Chains A and B, each alone.
Chain A
Amino acid sequence: MGQFIDGPLWAFSLGVFVLGVIWRVVTILIAGNRSDLATAKGSAGKGAIRAVFSRFIPERTVTSRGRIQLIAGYLFHLGLLALLFFAKPHVDFIAERITGLSWSAMPHWAFIVSAEAAFIGLILLWLHRVLNPVTRLLSDLDDHVGSILVFLVMLTGCLALAQSFEPLRLIHLLLAELLLIYFPFSKLMHAFTFVMSRGYTGATMGRKGINA
């Protein structure tokens, strides 16, 4: 069982993830956009690039009314990114299993702090999702499965922090594999498609000469 999780299933899930993401991005691109015939006032390219980055900063309207979501959102995303790519066990794993390249990892305390930030963020976001009438109305199964799967991966990762009990590591790995398999078929794709969304909107706005 352990060998299966650590061997074939890992390769399979990574394959599904990579191919799935490519497939999703390609299907979006295939749908195509008509070229805009209206005379442009500004540059579409610049607008697209600007939007991709400027949307990391929230608009003021949202900063007051959506404060909780913003704070929780930042905590979760930054924490998750930090611990995903800069936690020592992950850096080692990525270097050993995927890229062969290694980079310097965060100190252990920073890893824990970012994990804590990610937990605060994710728990608050999910609770907000089920408590707030707007998000409760919008949410579907996909949102909950995605949130819970990410939560479980993070939780089992935190339970396996001692790095000395193989079953705990395998549970973490198994859930991470399930997450990878689920990823391309779900809302989690926003991790990649947000660049496209922002880009498309930014390009349109850029042509109109608006900073969006």
Chain B
Amino acid sequence: MARMKFYCDPERCIECNACVTACKNENEVPWGVNRRRVVTINDGDEGERSLSVACMHCSDAPCATVCPVDCFYTTQDGVVLHDKDICIGCGYCFYACPFGAPQFPEDGAFATRGKMDKCTFCAGGPEADNSSDEHRKYGSNRLAEGKLPLCAEMCSTKALLAGDADTISEIYRKRVINRSASVMARGVSYRDASFRAPRNASGKSSAKE
């Protein structure tokens, strides 16, 4: 039994947002909903890192725990999905999720948020695989076709990996060995290796100020 996971390598992510675009396109998500987003830490400063974030498909998903109508379920592949026919749009999953994955299509005055939408690991929803209903509500079901989520497949630097946890772990392990340690723990990995001291100016040219 596989356990599907995402992994984003901050050493490789170049904040190109291709994963975000791919996801939107593949799943035809409504306006205002972003199942995936790229977060940049220390933008423009030393130690700038980007991470592509979406639902992490937790094993003990907080969203599923707090849902008042119990609309979440975990597939055999370890993908956390939800049933939009049952969702009442209360927003509790959004409060509980550490990653900010649950999204809502409406602005929410008087708490009208609409049905929650989130990353499905390109695995659709409870409806029959690749049925039109499923596509309308949840977008693509690539997993049923034997494909991985498009965001990961599109990633040009292969920063974003998706797939069975064991396989990804293995890839990651190899990368870490090559880099010799965890990037975050050590700070900027290639600063020490660079030929000259960093320039006084900080960050990239498109720095937002």
Contacts and interface: CB of A to CB of B under 8 A. Distances in A.
The answer to whether A and B touch in the complex, with CB atoms under 8 Å apart, is yes
A162 B88 CA distance: 8
Nearest to A164: B115
Interface string A102-119: 000000110010000000
Interface residues on B, range: under 10
B109 A162 contact: no
B136 to A, nearest CB: 13
A88 B205 CA distance: 47
Interface in A109-160: 109, 112
A18 interface: no
B195 interface: no
A162 B114 CA distance: 7
A40 interface: no
Contacts of B109: 108-109, 112
B85 to A, nearest CB: 8
Contacts of A112: 109-110
Contacts of A109: 109-110
A196 B109 CA distance: 41
A173 to B, nearest CB: 20
Specify which of B89, B110, B114, B115 lies most central, judged by the most chain A CB atoms within 10 Å of its CB: B110
Interface string B92-135: 00000000000000000110101100000000000000000000
A52 to B, nearest CB: 36
B110 A108 contact: yes
Grouping DSSP codes into helix (H, G, I), strand (E, B) and loop, the B interface class, with mixed when no group exceeds half, is: loop
Nearest to A115: B110
Contacts, number: 14
A161 interface: yes
B110 A162 contact: no
Contacts of B112: 108, 161-162
A37 B151 CA distance: 88
Contacts of B114: 164
A161 B88 CA distance: 11
Nearest to B87: A164
A180 B149 CA distance: 52
B68 to A, nearest CB: 14
B31 to A, nearest CB: 16
Contacts of B89: 162, 164
Contacts of A161: 112
A162 B109 CA distance: 13
Nearest to A116: B110
A92 B114 CA distance: 18
Interface string B46-62: 00000000000000000
A109 B109 CA distance: 7
Contacts of B115: 164
Specify which of A112, A161, A164 lies most central, judged by the most chain B CB atoms within 10 Å of its CB: A164
A90 to B, nearest CB: 16
A116 to B, nearest CB: 9
Given A108-B112, A112-B109, A112-B110, 11 more contacts: A108-B109, A108-B110, A109-B109, A109-B110, A161-B112, A162-B88, A162-B89, A162-B112, A164-B89, A164-B114, A164-B115
6 contacts: A108-B109, A108-B112, A109-B110, A112-B109, A161-B112, A164-B114
Interface of B: 88-89, 109-110, 112, 114-115
- Listed from nearest, the 7 A-B pairs whose CB atoms lie closest are A112-B110, A109-B109, A108-B112, A164-B115, A162-B89, A109-B110, A108-B109
